[in-house]
Structure 1
Amino acid sequence: MQNYIDYRKTQKPLEFENLVVEIGFGSGDFLIKLAKENRNEIFFGIEKSWIPVNKLLKKCGLKKINNIYCIRLDAYWAFQLLFRDNSVKKIIMNYPDPWFKKSHAERRLTRRENLYVYAKKLINDGEVKIRTDDYSFVEFTLQEASFLNCFSINVSNPTINEPLTKYEKRWLSMGKNIWDIVLKKEKEPITLKINEIKEVSELYPVRISADRVDVELVAYKEFKIEEALYIKCFSIWKKGQDYAVEVLLSENGFLQSFMVTVKKKNDYFIIDVSKFSEVLKTEGIQKALNFLAKIIGKERS
C-alpha cells in the first residue's frame, strides 16, 4: 500500500513538485504507461471507488512501479486538501462522465469551481488535458473555463493511435467524433468563492452534564446545524448506559460517515467520535458533537 495516500492521516499539503495528475484513472493502464515511460516523474491518480484503486495498486506492485501515488476521494477535495498551489504541471481527464442532465451539472469535473481549484494548483503554463466524445460537454467546459479568464484554450479532433481503450474502439466503430481540450494556465484565475473545509488538530469529546440522556431523539433524523452543515443520524446501538450512533455529516458538500459514542462516566456522559472511525478532523465534526450533546442531554419534564 506504499503507493496509496490516506488523506485522513497524511500531513498536508503533500511535498510533491511538478505532479502529473489523472482524475478518474479507471483500470490504471494509462497512468501505468506514463509512469513506466517517465521514471523520474511523479504521477498521481484520483478515484472515488476502491475497485480502480485496488486494481492500480496491484499493478504497481506486480510491475514494481514506485512513482505513482493514488487516493480514493472526490477530485475537488483531493486538489483542495492535498496539493500546494503551483505544484501540478498537468491534469489529465480521459472521457470524464459528462452528466448529461442539467440538474447534474454540479457533478461535472469541469464546472468552474473545480477548474478554479485546478488552476490554483497548476504551475504557470501548466495544462488541463481532457479527452471526450460528448460535444455538449466540450461546450460546457469551454464556457466554464472562459469564465475564469486564466486559460488559453485549444480544441482539436485527435488522431487516435493504438492501443485503443474499449470505449474508443466502440465509439470509433460507431463513427463518433472525439475531442481533445487543452486548457493552459496563463495567469491566476479571477477570485471565486468556493466550498472549503477547515481541519483542526484535534477533536475534543463533549461532556454532557446530566444523569441521563435520550439518544433515541436523534434516531433516523436529519438536522441543519448551520448553513451548509448538516448531520443525519441512523441506527442506534445500546449496551447498558452506553450508546453508539451511526451518522453522516455533510460539511460544505464534503461527506463523512462515522460512529458517535455516548458513554456514561460517573454522573455525566461523554459524546465523542468512535475510536474505530477514521475521519478527517474538521470544525464541522466538532460542531456536530456539540450540537448532538445539546439535543440528547436536554432536560425534559
Structure 2
Amino acid sequence: MLVRPALLPSWPPGPVDLFGREGPLVLEIGFGDGRFTAELARAHPHWLVLGAEVSAASVLRAYRRMRREGLGNVRLYHGEGPFALRNLVPPGSLHRVIVNFPDPWPKKRHQERRLLQEGFFRKLSTRLAEGGSLLLTTDHEEYFRFALEEAEKTGLYRIEVRPPPESHLRTKYALKWKEAGRPFFHAVFTKVAEDPTPWPPVRRYAVAHALLEGTLPEALPLAKTPLPLEGGVAVFLEVARGEHGFYVLTHVEEEDLTQDLLLEVRTSAHGIYAGVSRFGSPLITDGVREAVAALARFLQTLGLKVAQDHTGKGLR
C-alpha cells in the first residue's frame, strides 16, 4: 500500500506494477489524514487511487486508515506530488487529479513554492488522458484566482468554476474552515490540448560507487560546501566515524525530489569503497551519482587513486 520508488521492479511503473490491475488512475496531491482518499476509494472501487503527501505523520495516519478499512485500490507515496506525477504516472494515463486545500504560500516571497503554477499545468497535461481533469478546492480566494490565471496562460484547459462537491468539504481542513465560517472555492480544469515539451521520468540507476586504491584516511574533513547539480544542489552535511570507515550524511535536491541519504567510505575486499549506503533504500539518480563522484574526487585529493568508477561521472 506504501509506494517505495527505489524498490519498484520496473521504472517507470505502470498501474499493474502499483496496483496489480488496470483501471482508471486517479492522483490525489496532499491527502492529509486520508479521510477523503478513503471515501473516494470506497465510492469508486474500480478506480486506482494514488495519493502523494509530504507529511510523514499524515502518511502514517492515512496508511493505518486504509489498512483498517481494507481498501485495496489505494497506494500512498510519501513525497512531493510533482515527483509522483512525473515518475509514477505513465503519460496520458490519468483520469483525474484532485487537489484539496493546497498550501497557499500567501507571502509574496514564497509564491514560487505554490503547486498550481503555469509550469505544473503544462506538465500535468502530458499525464492526463484526453478529457482528464484536475479538481481544485480551496478556502484561499487569492490562490484560487492565481491558479485560474496560471492555467489560463497555458491554453491547454477548459476551466469551469463550480460549487465544490459535498465530498470535498469533508476533509480535515474543510471541516475546520467550515466551522470557522470561511467560504470555499472550486474549479475543474479539463484537458483540451497537450504541451509538446517532453517530460520524461527521472533516470534511476542500479549503483553509484567508486573503488579506490590507498589507505583509509584518519579523518574525512568534508566542508559543507554546496555542490551545484543540473536543476539542484547536493551538500555533505555531517561525517561520522564507524568501525570500518566513515558515514557521510548527504542532502541532495533535484527537480521534484529531495533526499537525505548516507554515503560510505570504508574498507572492502577490493579496496576503499566510496558510495551509497543501503540504509533507507535511496533512489539512485544523476544527482546522487554526482554526489558520490564529488566524494571520490575529494578522496583523490587525500592521495587515493580511483581503480574502478561506477558513478558514470568520469573519475578516471
Report the TM range for the smaller structure's normalisation. Answer: 0.7 to 0.9
2:249 maps to: 246
Q: 1:190 to 1:148 in 2, by over 3 A?
A: farther
Q: How does 1:106-255 map to 2 (within 5 A)?
A: 106-158=112-164, 160=166, 164-165=170-171, 167-189=173-195, 191=197, 197-200=202-205, 202-213=206-217, 216-219=220-223, 221-239=224-242, 242-252=245-255, 254-255=257-258
**Which segment drifts farther, 268-277 or 66-75?**
268-277
Residue 250 of structure 1 aligns to which amino acid in structure 2?
E
Residue 4 of structure 1 aligns to which amino acid in structure 2?
L
Gaps of 5+ in 2: 16-22, 304-316
SS of 2:220's partner is helix
> What are the superposed Cα offsets for residues 165-212 of structure 1, whole Å, 9 maximum, x if unpaired?
4543453455432111110001112538x7974222x21421233335
Residue 181 of structure 1 aligns to which amino acid in structure 2?
A
What is the deviation of 1:106? 2.6
Query: CA–CA distance in 1 between the matches of 2:166 and 2:106?
Result: 24
What is the deviation of 1:234? 2.3
Cα RMSD (Å) of the superposition?
A: 2.6
Q: 1:253 to 1:40 in 2, by over 3 A?
A: closer
> What are the superposed Cα offsets for residues 209-228 of structure 1, whole Å, 9 maximum, x if unpaired?
33354753314x12324443
Q: 1:22 to 1:66 in 2, by over 3 A?
A: same
Contact persistence 1:214–1:296 (CA under 8 A): no
2:7 maps to: 9
Query: CA–CA distance in 2 between the matches of 1:281 and 1:162?
Result: 37
Contact persistence 2:208–2:284 (CA under 8 A): no
2:259 maps to: 256
Contact persistence 1:150–1:190 (CA under 8 A): no
2:307 maps to: none
What is the deviation of 1:13? 2.6
Q: How does 1:91-102 map to 2 (within 5 A)?
A: 91-102=97-108
Contact persistence 1:35–1:41 (CA under 8 A): yes
Q: 1:163 to 1:277 in 2, by over 3 A?
A: closer
Q: 1:124 to 1:6 in 2, by over 3 A?
A: same
Q: 1:173 to 1:241 in 2, by over 3 A?
A: closer
What is the deviation of 1:39? 1.6
Q: 1:284 to 1:157 in 2, by over 3 A?
A: same
Q: 2:48 aligns with which of 28, 42, 50?
A: 42
Residue 284 of structure 1 aligns to which amino acid in structure 2?
G
SS of 1:255's partner is strand
SS of 2:281's partner is coil
**Which segment drifts farther, 207-216 or 289-298?**
207-216
Q: 1:252 to 1:40 in 2, by over 3 A?
A: closer
SS of 2:221's partner is helix
Q: 1:228 to 1:23 in 2, by over 3 A?
A: closer
What is the deviation of 1:248? 0.8
Residue 292 of structure 2 aligns to which amino acid in structure 1?
L
2:311 maps to: none
Residue 247 of structure 1 aligns to which amino acid in structure 2?
T
What is the deviation of 1:276? 2.1
1:67 maps to: 73
Task: Give 4+ residue runs of structure 1 displaced > 6 Å after superposition.
Answer: none
What is the deviation of 1:57? 1.9
Aligned residue pairs total 295
What is the deviation of 1:128? 0.2
Query: CA–CA distance in 2 between the matches of 1:161 and 1:225?
Result: 44
1:81 maps to: 87
Gaps of 5+ in 1: none
Residue 129 of structure 1 aligns to which amino acid in structure 2?
L
